Amino acid sequence: MPLLDFAAIAAQLPQSWQSTCLGQVGPARIKVLRMDGRAYEEETHDYNEGLLVVSGLLRLSIDDKEICVDAGQMYLVEAGTAHAVLPGSKGALVIIDV
């Protein structure tokens, strides 16, 4: 995999909240997206999802609790866990699907 600048790639994406897959390492898909402050509806996956904040802040709602993930931090959403993005989430986000 070549050298990747996640923040620069996210900034160039034409639409926020639309991820682009950058590659795969073993079974893990690595995606990046741009957050723009808007909320994103609740979703559930049948796989684990790592949410790594490259820049900005991710505000999650899980089990009616707010979880703030700062730049440099990652939250692991376990398979089958419903999660939503709250308003105010901005910056670049890397998603690792396993």
Segment 43-54 shows an average pLDDT of 98
Q: Which fold has domain 6-97?
A: Jelly Rolls (2.60.120)
- List the chain domain ranges: 6-97
Segment 13-40 shows an average pLDDT of 96
d(CA 84, CA 39): 8
Segment 87-91 shows an average pLDDT of 98
Residue pair 67/92 in contact (Cβ under 8 Å)? The answer is no
Torsion (CA) 59, 62, 66, 72 in degrees, nearest 10: -40
Check whether 1 has a pLDDT greater than 80.
no
Residue pair 41/14 in contact (Cβ under 8 Å)? The answer is no
State if pTM tops 0.85: yes
